[in-house]
Amino acid sequence: MEFPAALVNALRQAQRVSALTGAGVSQESGLRTFRDAQDGLWAQFRPEDLATPQAFQRNPKLVWDWYAWRRAKVREAKPNAAHLSLVELARLVPHFILITQNVDGLHQAAGSPRVIELHGNIRRVRCSVCGKPHSEWDESEAEVPRCNTCGGLLRPDVVWFGESLPASELDTAFEAARNSQIFFSIGTSGVVQPAASLAYYAKQNGALVVEINAEPTPLTPSADFSFQGKAGEVLPALVKVTFSKQ
Ligand code: NAD
Ligand code: ZN
């Protein structure tokens, strides 16, 4: 795979690099993106209709079961070459910040030292009323498990459509975008706000914006470099070309 010398040289010299990842990064680990059709039991539902506070209010059991099914898939999944390249970048770049919209925890499983999770993590569960985190709950029950303190229904610790993002993560992400010399947008359709603004904000503040995605996105025309392909192929190739001994 060929990469422009301007990008390779910039990456080799950069002190501050950030990357924003989306569901496309986990696609090669066998996890579906939201834009892929769902399979099996869940094919009749749109994710956008399940990942909302209204859906949980209307039918908590349906939403809980969908997340339980996704959680099981996530636990079976293994990090892929894209996740591992991002671990490498954290080692090779003096200041590297990884920001993800993914809720699957695969960056941490791969060994990324610090991950800014904008949309929470499906492996964690908290009370929908008092917020108390729960590390154990009974998955076999016919009803949605309840909080052992206030009796409220438990829910996944993720950000649903219409909910606000965790403030400190969001601040850290915008600060990273502002300070970056290179900003990667990888495997994200760039339509879910406010994460989608990060790349533009980085560019306004002088970063080179590099997109790696399976297909063009709204960001593509604004990116300084755009690579259409699989994250698990493009990213390892770029890291190798940039950092292997010349
Ligand atoms: P998205 O589904 O909107 O977009 C994924 C993008 O990745 C698409 O443009 C697709 O063309 C591209 N893509 C697919 N396979 C790829 C590959 N192998 N390499 C590179 N690109 C590839 O996902 P999003 O932008 O992350 O936003 C959707 C929301 O869905 C997020 O809020 C996220 O929290 C949630 N989500 C998370 C997971 C997960 O944690 N694994 C899975 C599904 C959805
Ligand atoms: Zn509670």
- Domains of the chain in start order, with CATH, are 5-31+78-119+164-243 (3.40.50.1220), 40-76+139-158 (3.30.1600.10)
Q: 38 CB contacts (<8 Å, ≥6 apart)?
A: 32, 45, 46, 47
> How far apart are the C-alpha atoms of 74 and 83, rounded to whole Å?
14
| Ligand 1 binding pocket, CB closer than 6 Å | 22-24, 26-28, 31, 33-35, 101-104, 119, 187-189, 192, 213-215, 217, 230-231
Q: Which class for 130: exposed (0-12), middle (13-18), buried (19 or more C-beta within 10 A)?
A: exposed
* Tokens 């993106």 found at: 33
The whole-model pTM stands at: 0.95
Tokens, residue 186: 């990888």
Among the listed ranges 39-43, 104-108, 217-221, which one has the minimum average pLDDT value? Answer: 39-43
CA of 104 to the centre of ligand 1 (A): 11
Q: What residues are annotated to the active site?
A: 119
CA of 156 to the centre of ligand 2 (A): 13
Q: What is the DSSP string of 181-224?
A: SEEEEES--S-STTGGGHHHHHHHTTPEEEEEESS--TTGGG-S
Residue 246 has pLDDT above 70, yes or no: no
Among the listed ranges 37-41, 109-113, 165-169, 194-198, which one has the minimum average pLDDT value? Answer: 37-41
Q: Are 22 and 188 in contact (CB under 8 A)?
A: yes
Segment 16-39 shows an average pLDDT of 91
> How far apart are the C-alpha atoms of 64 and 153, rounded to whole Å?
10
pLDDT digits (tens, 9 = 90+) for 98-135: 999 999 999 999 999 999 999 999 999 999 999 999 99
CA of 146 to the centre of ligand 1 (A): 31
Q: Which residue has the higher pLDDT, 123 or 246?
A: 123
Tokens, residue 208: 């080179």
> How far apart are the C-alpha atoms of 220 and 228, rounded to whole Å?
10
Among the listed ranges 3-7, 13-17, 141-145, which one has the minimum average pLDDT value? Answer: 141-145
Q: Are 106 and 83 in contact (CB under 8 A)?
A: yes
Q: Are 212 and 235 in contact (CB under 8 A)?
A: yes
